[in-house]
């Protein structure tokens, strides 16, 4: 059996076309959806990521405003920048690119974003509402994973065992908060990459989600036949045949897993493109409301 490849680029293009329709409708009512991003410092990965968000926003008709701030900015100054964006009626969505420099208190910064503009879904109010099953902004990566599953015909997870190998606030915890709700009905387990005998759990999973940034961390012997395998890992490995000498791979041993899985996400071109798209979708939703 060869798995269905869940093509995040294709789905993303489809969703972005829908977003263009929604932004056109907003324009007819005199509303231009606006997103503001804050980048502190000059981490190259974050700079690339924020640039992608800026371009993608423009492509679907969202006005973007990226605020680039120095690495040594004082916390109070950053909080004032967030307050200015909170008060700006043209800005419907705000995100603070992570990670932040060490001297800044991430919890305090994320809690300063107005919950109604928190399109990243990182504000404690949105996190709490998500767990309570209430209407809230949810982080883009887990929403992107769910959207991919639904649009590919794998959205019914009732009574399915889902093992998530990631416990962070961006992926594992919010994904669990979605899938554990009664209306979805999945049996969810959060594991750490260091969990002893991890394969005891992953072998029982109907769906495995991994995001640990370790190449080929999940191998074919760790999963059962017909698993749905979702990968949000990002690793550059040496590859003499690649132009740059390096190649981007995820955390799944893709070549062997694709022979065993029912469906699988590639890296690149799987969950990654969905993440930016769902941030834009949250922004359009914020403008609509």
Instruction: Tell me the three state secondary structure of residue 81.
Output: helix
> Taking contact as CB under 6 A, which single stretch among the options 5-13, 57-65, 94-102, 213-221 is the one that binds ligand GUN?
94-102
- For residue 248, report the phi and psi dihedrals to the nearest 5 degrees: -85, 125
Give residue 154's Cα distance to chain centre. 18
The answer to the question of residue 251 lying near ligand GUN (CB under 6 A) is no
Contacts of 181 (CB under 8 A, 6+ apart): 133
140 in contact with ligand GUN (CB under 6 A): yes
Buried/exposed 122-151: b ≥16 CB within 10 Å, e otherwise: bbebbbebbbeeeebbbbbbbbbbbbbbee
Please say which residue, 141 or 277, places its beta carbon nearer to ligand GUN. Answer: 141
The answer to the question of residue 170 lying near ligand GUN (CB under 6 A) is yes
Q: Which of 120, 206, 251, 253 binds ligand GUN (CB under 6 A)?
A: 120
- Contact status: 52 vs ligand GUN (CB under 6 A): no
Half-sphere exposure of 67 (CA within 13 A, CB side): 19
Q: Which range binds ligand GUN by CB under 6 A, 89-97, 145-153, 175-183, 260-268?
A: 89-97
Give the active site residues: 53, 97, 120
Q: Residue 232, interface with ligand GUN (CB under 6 A)?
A: no
Nearer to ligand GUN, 173 or 258 (CB): 173
Binding of residue 47 to ligand GUN (CB under 6 A): no
Question: Would you count residue 97 as binding ligand GUN (CB under 6 A)?
Answer: yes
Q: Kindly state the tokens that stand for 249.
A: 């791979």
Distance in angstroms (rounded) separating the CA atoms of residues 43 and 46: 5
- Residues of this chain that interact with ligand GUN (CB under 6 A) are 95-98, 120, 140-141, 170
């Amino acid at each position: 059996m060869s798995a269905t490849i869940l093509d995040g680029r294709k789905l993303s293009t489809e969703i972005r076309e829908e977003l263009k329709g929604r932004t056109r409708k907003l324009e007819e009512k005199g509303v231009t959806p606006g997103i503001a991003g804050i980048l502190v410092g000059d981490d190259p990965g974050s700079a690339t990521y924020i640039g992608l968000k800026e371009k993608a926003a423009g492509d679907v008709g969202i006005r973007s405003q990226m605020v680039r701030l120095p690495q040594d900015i004082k916390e109070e100054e950053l909080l004032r920048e967030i307050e200015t964006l909170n008060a700006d009626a043209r800005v419907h969505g705000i995100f603070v690119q992570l990670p932040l420099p060490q001297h800044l208190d991430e919890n305090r910064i994320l809690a300063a974003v107005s919950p109604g503009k928190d399109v990243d879904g990182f504000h404690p109010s949105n996190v709490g509402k998500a767990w309570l099953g209430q209407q809230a902004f949810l982080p883009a990566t887990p929403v992107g994973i769910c959207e991919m599953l639904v649009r590919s015909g794998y959205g019914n997870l009732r009574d399915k065992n889902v093992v998530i190998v990631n416990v962070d606030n961006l992926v594992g915890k919010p994904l669990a908060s979605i899938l554990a709700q009664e209306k979805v009905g999945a049996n969810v387990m959060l594991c750490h990459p260091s969990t002893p005998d991890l394969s005891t759990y992953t072998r029982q999973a109907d769906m495995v989600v991994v995001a640990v940034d370790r190449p080929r961390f999940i191998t074919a012997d760790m999963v059962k036949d017909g698993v749905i395998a979702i990968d949000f890992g990002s690793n550059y490995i040496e590859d003499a045949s690649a132009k740059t000498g390096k190649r981007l791979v995820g955390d799944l041993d893709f070549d062997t897993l694709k022979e065993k899985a029912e469906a699988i996400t590639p890296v690149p071109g799987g969950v990654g493109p969905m993440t930016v798209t769902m941030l834009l979708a949250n922004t359009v939703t914020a403008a609509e409301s």
